[in-house]
Structure 1
Amino acid sequence: MSEPRRAARRSRLSLAVAGVAVTLLSGCAGDPALSSVPQPPEAPRTYTGTVVEPPVPLPAVMLTGADDRPFDLQADTRAPVTLVTFVYTNCPDECPLTVSTITVALGALAPELRRSIDVVVVSADPVRDTPAVLRAWLDRFDPAYRGVTGDPAVIDKVAVDLFVPADVPGSAPGADPVDVSHGVQIFAFGADEQSLMLWGSNPTPSELAADLSQLVEQQQSRS
């Protein structure tokens, strides 16, 4: 991608991100039946990630799953909590670190909480990351992870809609080294396809696990 185009794109993304306010969520709840009895205030929820306000919807696009079948990014993600992040399989550092962090965090959760979370990994290099390549890469972490690839223009739209800076190449396999870059954000979406939280830089596995535990409990209490 040319430098002028990249600069213009990042400028647009910066303006878009500025329109999406993120704020830490806190709250307390009381039992109406015990309103006459003094109750100690409930401790506010604390998170490492940030709650997205207003929520960002999961883009309504068709992609290709790592099983080489059509994947509807909205209709096929109905878990109480779905994590979405971007990777490319030739990435030497940040991508494996991000997915490893997710894997360790999920492994620290109680089984009933883990079953409430799906993980969708979007390839930022869809030309080289065929479904088979992406599946083999994800199997190193967890065979349950759902990899998606697809048309570069559609992948680019997903990144833009989620305010994730990304250069999604469209060159053919076997071409010269491809310039791939993308943000390392991890998003959490609810079953209503609205964003719940994002982590803008790599949290520790324990921090991510603590946030996810609270998010799942919060979503289950609303269902």
Structure 2
Amino acid sequence: MRTKYVPAAIALAVAAALTLTACGGSDDKAKSPVTDVSADTSNKPGTVLDRPFTKPDFVLTDTQGKKFDFRERTKGRPTLIYFGYTHCPDVCPLTMGNIAVAKKQLPKADQDKLQVVFVTTDPERDTPESLGKWLKALDPAFIGLTGDFPTIQAGARSIGIGIDPATKDKDGKVVSMHGAQVIAFSPKTDQGYVLYGDTTTAEDYTKDLPKIILGENP
């Protein structure tokens, strides 16, 4: 897979003006690319950052109702993080499904090493119980986190992902605007060094995950 190297400063600047995905609504923005860290994104699902993101320092609640210190619990583990919500009809289940398919292609030992974390952008509706049920259908080992929205939003922004509070559209449907990037954290440095967009396929993840497990550039 071809990769591109993007300075973290540029990635953060772009994040400030991020095009967000409108999940669950009829807004035309839902059809737009989620993020564009440079002008050339064709055929490059993985973006290797030359200055990786520091791992978010937040404590949220897992699907068992217990506190989950993200930085501490994922320390030294290859980790993928994604921000979305369970009522999303398209991007979120597709992204998590693609990761689940790719993960199953790994040797069992590597599957056990990889942590996949889904953080809700709609904490008012995504309770630990409902979040756990949704993720279990994809992969029982996936970690689901919820909590207060400001904490979630701040954590997302710290790694260049924009999210807005859930609102209702003109038809009364709840719309959650959120960046649909997946960030991969290296087990060697505990930093987010690879960014994947919403067009990343299961095949792309299947090719890249073995290297992510080792903390290598895909």
- TM-score bracket for this pair, using the shorter chain length: 0.7 to 0.9
2:178 to 164, 178, 182: 182
Which residue of the partner structure matches residue 156 of structure 1?
A: 153
- SS of residue matched to 2:174: coil
Structure 2: which amino acid aligns with 1:92? P
Q: Distance in 1 between matches of 2:167 and 2:204?
A: 36
Q: CA deviation at 1:48?
A: 4.1
Q: Distance in 1 between matches of 2:14 and 2:97?
A: 31
- In the alignment, structure 1 segments of 5+ residues that lack a partner are 1-9, 22-46
- SS of residue matched to 2:194: strand
Give yes or no for contact 2:46–2:197 (8 Å, CA) kept in 1.
yes
Give yes or no for contact 1:48–1:211 (8 Å, CA) kept in 2.
no
Higher strand fraction: Structure 1 or Structure 2? Answer: 2
Q: Distance in 2 between matches of 1:12 and 1:51?
A: 16
Q: Cα–Cα, structure 1 residues 162 and 107, in superposed 2: closer, same or farther, change >3 Å?
A: same
Cα RMSD over matched residues?
Answer: 2.9
How high is the sequence identity, in percent, across the aligned residues? Answer: 35
Does 1:72 pair with 2:69? yes
Q: CA deviation at 1:109?
A: 1.5
Structure 2: which amino acid aligns with 1:128? R
Does 1:165 pair with 2:162? yes
Q: CA deviation at 1:102?
A: 0.3
Q: CA deviation at 1:11?
A: 8.0
When the two structures are superposed, what TM-score results if normalisation uses the length of structure 2? 0.74
- In the alignment, structure 2 segments of 5+ residues that lack a partner are 1-12, 19-34, 39-43
Structure 2: which amino acid aligns with 1:204? T
1:153-175 deviations in Å (ceiling 9; x for gaps)? 1011112112112113399xxxx
Which residue of the partner structure matches residue 147 of structure 1?
A: 144
Q: Distance in 1 between matches of 2:197 and 2:213?
A: 20
Q: Distance in 2 between matches of 1:62 and 1:68?
A: 12
Aligned length: 181
2:119 to 102, 119, 122: 122
When the two structures are superposed, what TM-score results if normalisation uses the length of structure 1? 0.72
Give yes or no for contact 2:45–2:197 (8 Å, CA) kept in 1.
no
Structure 1: which amino acid aligns with 2:145? V
Give yes or no for contact 1:80–1:190 (8 Å, CA) kept in 2.
yes
- Larger Cα Rg: Structure 1 or Structure 2? 1
Give yes or no for contact 2:52–2:192 (8 Å, CA) kept in 1.
yes
Which residue of the partner structure matches residue 103 of structure 2?
A: 106
- SS of residue matched to 2:51: coil
Does 1:196 pair with 2:193? yes
Which residue of the partner structure matches residue 13 of structure 1?
A: 16
Structure 2: which amino acid aligns with 1:14? A
- SS of residue matched to 1:166: coil
Q: Distance in 2 between matches of 1:159 and 1:168?
A: 13
1:94-124 deviations in Å (ceiling 9; x for gaps)? 1110010000010111222222211110001
1:95 to 83, 92, 95: 92
| Larger RCO, structure (CA 8 Å, separation 6 or more) | 2
Q: Cα–Cα, structure 1 residues 179 and 210, in superposed 2: closer, same or farther, change >3 Å?
A: same
The residue correspondences of 1:129-144 to structure 2 (distance < 5 A) are: 129-144=126-141
Q: Distance in 2 between matches of 1:186 and 1:208?
A: 11
Q: Distance in 2 between matches of 1:129 and 1:95?
A: 14
1:195-223 deviations in Å (ceiling 9; x for gaps)? 1211022312121111111222346xxxx
